[in-house]
């Protein structure tokens, strides 16, 4: 910001430079180097009037006394977020594309001019969705301590009065509202979603998608405005020297033009290196408690925050279940001897029972299945290649295939697969997993398993597959 801060006053008392002591028709003064006089943009009378009506508790107060607070510490947190948040943003957008918006099956389906340039989500590498979803959820969680530390480091600026002295500053404050409101909204809804807690009562996907765009706009504006400040601040102190500075040696940063450094600093209760270690340690702890849900192996035992539980037994079907047969209202009668699979193409319809399917050439593939909540697991699936089923109905090169479940309700009781997803040699209508028949909860009598496909599109309790020209 180009103006000096002291005009915001100590506590609620206006300083000698305060606008309160000037008349509204005073011409806007030219900034003089070293002069503290505030500069007002158009309409100056409005900004002065706002400045005069300072609500209690706002403005530069003695409340924020930490001697650690200053542009350097803020910029240290900022640089971590600058590197990591674009990864969270990008993987979030990729996940939307993975759901197939071209088939209107991403949520929200219709997003107007926020529609992303779509492409057919690939099937290779098979762990692609596991990676994007794991990074999106995992990194989002790990960054929570850094976001909170960043907000702590800037908290006095949130209570600045006046909030703006020009239209440009007002726009910056609005972008800040989008940034702070956006990130808090995304973090809260994301955490609630992975806990399957929908207390907010609106569609998680829709809100998280639009909230994400609000955050992205605020984030972009913030980075453009603050990048020069960040670079200057980072050059102002040596990280190596800070890491050697004890609590007793910790001194406040020099007064800064934005008034972030405390005017009346208290004694340090922690050094800057201690603060960095605390935040880094917090992030590490969150990582240890969660990454096991994505990478599995020995780390799964440590993933205490895994909503689907860590102990999943040892049988062939003992791995995570997102939606049970009971929750999907699948009755044993629907999946018993009377169950038939219907295969459709333009002019042909074939109906097969499970014994007929099991008698056809089977293929086995070891593939991960990854859920939107961030967990994933790799299992060995056996069944019929989807491309063989397409050929069976005389349509070996379909443009897409619509799979329908026996499940009559729910957002994911059908899924459209792209041509590439149908034709991949490991894309299966699975009948068995890890050498045993699928359990009811894993989709008996048959389920879809396609490399890199979002978990919920690997339809369970399949009733029909229609191979389509469009």
Q: How many residues bind ligand HEM (CB under 6 A)?
A: 26
Q: How far is the CB of 279 from ligand HEM (least distance, A)?
A: 13
Distance CA 452, CA 121 (A): 8
Shortest distance in whole angstroms from residue 7 CB to ligand HEM: 15
Between residue 78 and residue 117, which ones bind ligand HEM under the rule CB under 6 A?
78, 81-82
Q: Closest CB to ligand HEM among 74 and 400?
A: 74
Q: Candidates 227, 241, 304, 327: give the one binding ligand HEM (CB under 6 A).
A: 227
The residue within the footprint of ligand HEM, chosen from 158, 167, 346, 436 (CB under 6 A), is 158
Closer by beta carbon to ligand HEM, 258 or else 379: 258
Tokens of residue 470, six digits: 């469009």
Give the HSE-up count for residue 270: Cα atoms under 13 Å, Cβ half-sphere: 11
Q: What is the DSSP string of 116-170?
A: ----PPP--STTHHHHHHHHHHHHHHHTHHHHHHHHHHHHHHHT-SSS-SSHHHH
- What track of x and - describes contact with ligand HEM for positions 253 through 282 (by CB under 6 A)? ---x-x-x----------------------
Q: Which helix (H) or strand (E) holds 402?
A: strand 400-405
DSSP string, 183-251: HHHHHHHHHHHHTT--TT-S-HHHHHHHHHHHHHHHHHHHHHHHHHHHHHHHHHS-HHHHHH--TTT--
Task: Give the nearer residue to ligand HEM in terms of CB position, either 127 or 210.
Answer: 210
183, 403, 428, 465: residue in contact with ligand HEM (rule CB under 6 A): 183
CA distances from 339 to 182, 235, 344, 356, 430 (A): 48, 69, 16, 12, 15
Smaller CB separation from ligand HEM, 135 or 233: 233
Work out how close the CB of 137 gets to ligand HEM at its nearest, in angstroms, rounded to a whole number: 16
Is position 147 an interface residue for ligand HEM (rule: CB under 6 A)?
yes
Residue selected from 51, 95, 154, 424 as contacting ligand HEM according to rule CB under 6 A: 154
Q: Helices 272-290 & 128-142, crossing angle to 10 degrees?
A: 140
Using CB under 6 A, which residues numbered 413 to 432 contact ligand HEM?
Answer: none
Verify binding: residue 176, ligand HEM, rule CB under 6 A. yes
What's the min distance (Å) between Cβ of 181 and ligand HEM?
9
CB 75 within 8 A of CB 68: no
Q: Are 99 and 457 in contact (CB under 8 A)?
A: yes
State the nearest-atom distance from the C-beta of 176 to ligand HEM, in Å: 5
Place of tokens 């596991």: 130
Q: How many CB atoms lie within 10 A of CB 306?
A: 22
Q: Which of 71, 162, 368, 383 binds ligand HEM (CB under 6 A)?
A: 71
Q: Kindly state whether residue 222 participates in binding ligand HEM, applying the rule CB under 6 A.
A: yes
Residue from 214, 220, 223, 350 binding ligand HEM (CB under 6 A): 223
Q: What is the CA radius of gyration of the chain?
A: 29
β-pairing, 376-385 vs 363-370, is: antiparallel
Binding region for ligand HEM (CB under 6 A): 71, 74-75, 78, 81-82, 147, 150-151, 154, 157-158, 176, 179-180, 183, 222-223, 226-227, 229-230, 233, 256, 258, 260
């Amino acid at each position: 910001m180009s103006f000096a801060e002291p005009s915001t006053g100590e506590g609620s008392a206006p300083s000698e430079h305060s606008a309160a002591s000037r008349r509204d028709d005073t011409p806007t003064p030219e900034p003089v180097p070293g002069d503290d006089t505030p500069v007002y943009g158009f309409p100056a009378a409005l900004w002065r009037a706002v400045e005069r009506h300072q609500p209690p508790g706002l403005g530069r107060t003695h409340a924020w006394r930490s001697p650690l607070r200053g542009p350097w510490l803020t910029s240290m947190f900022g640089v971590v977020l600058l590197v990591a948040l674009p990864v969270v943003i990008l993987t979030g957008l990729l996940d939307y594309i993975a759901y197939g918006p071209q088939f209107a099956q991403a949520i929200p389906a219709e997003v107007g001019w926020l529609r992303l340039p779509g492409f057919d989500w690939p099937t290779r590498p098979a762990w692609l969705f596991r990676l994007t979803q794991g990074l999106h959820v995992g990194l989002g969680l790990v960054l929570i301590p850094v976001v909170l530390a960043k907000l702590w480091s800037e908290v006095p600026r949130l209570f600045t009065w006046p909030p703006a002295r020009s239209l440009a500053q007002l726009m910056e404050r609005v972008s800040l509202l989008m940034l702070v409101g956006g990130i808090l909204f995304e973090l809260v809804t994301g955490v609630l979603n992975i806990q399957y807690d929908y207390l907010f009562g609106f569609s998680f996907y829709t809100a998280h998608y639009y909230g994400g765009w609000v955050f992205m706009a605020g984030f972009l504006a913030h980075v453009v405005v603050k990048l020069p400040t960040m670079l200057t601040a980072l050059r102002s102190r040596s990280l190596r020297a800070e890491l050697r500075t004890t609590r007793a040696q910790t001194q406040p940063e020099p007064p800064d033009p934005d008034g972030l450094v405390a005017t009346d600093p208290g004694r340090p209760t922690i050094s800057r290196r201690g603060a960095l270690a605390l935040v880094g340690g917090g992030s590490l702890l969150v990582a240890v408690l969660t990454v096991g849900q994505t990478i599995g192996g020995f780390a799964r035992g440590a993933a205490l925050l895994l909503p689907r539980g860590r102990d999943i037994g040892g049988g062939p079907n003992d791995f995570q279940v997102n939606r049970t047969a009971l929750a999907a209202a699948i009755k044993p009668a629907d999946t018993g001897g009377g169950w038939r699979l219907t295969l459709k193409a333009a002019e042909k319809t074939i109906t097969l029972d499970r014994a007929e399917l099991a008698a056809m050439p089977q293929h086995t593939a070891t593939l991960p299945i990854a859920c939107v909540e961030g967990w994933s697991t790799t299992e060995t699936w056996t069944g019929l290649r989807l491309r063989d089923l397409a050929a069976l109905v005389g349509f070996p090169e379909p443009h897409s295939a619509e799979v329908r479940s026996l499940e009559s309700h729910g957002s994911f009781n059908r899924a459209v697969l792209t041509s590439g997803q149908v034709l991949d040699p490991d894309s299966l209508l699975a009948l068995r997993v890890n050498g045993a028949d699928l359990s009811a909860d894993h989709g008996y009598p048959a389920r879809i398993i396609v490399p890199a496909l979002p978990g919920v599109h690997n339809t369970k309790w399949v009733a029909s597959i229609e191979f389509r020209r469009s």
